[in-house]
Amino acid sequence: MKRISWMAVLVVGITASTGVLAQGAAPAGDPAKGSQKVAMCQGCHGIDGWRTAFPEVYRVPKIAGQHSAYLIAALKEYKAGNRGHPSMKAIAASLSDADMADIAAYYAQTPLQQAVK
């Protein structure tokens, strides 16, 4: 069962990243500005091994080192209501395009071990 789950995640990830690449380059963000905007992200994405219990129990993905275009696309999908996580929808709804680009730039240049403290 776990093998099927990981395969499904891999297929979805490849499909999503292909869509991101087709969209072109992400708008340039400022990692320094992004570092000042990630407090709301760190509560879940910055804790090693963190699991959330809302709306169900699952391991929170690490976003440090992710490609900025993927992060921006994901945030826009949450903001548009095309992704279903209630907390992420609410957070993304509060972000401007510049905020998304800055946050994505910060996480894209941040190594995983630096983001997890």
CATH code where residue 105 lies: 1.10.760.10
Determine the pLDDT at residue 74. Answer: 97
- The contacts of residue 87 (CB under 8 Å, 6+ apart) are 44, 52, 54
Please tell me the pTM assigned to this model.
Answer: 0.70
Determine the pLDDT at residue 1. Answer: 42
Determine the pLDDT at residue 27. Answer: 66
Query: Domain tally for the chain?
Result: 1
Residue 86 CB neighbours (<10 A): 10
Determine the pLDDT at residue 106. Answer: 97
Average pLDDT of the residues of the chain: 80
Whether the predicted pLDDT of 84 surpasses 90: no
Determine the pLDDT at residue 6. Answer: 42
pLDDT per residue as tens digits for the range 13-60: 444 444 444 455 556 899 999 999 999 998 888 887 888 887 788 888
Kindly list the distances between the CA atom of residue 47 and the CA atoms of 40, 43, 61, 114, in Å, as whole numbers in the listed order. 12, 7, 10, 11
Domain that holds residue 20: 2-115
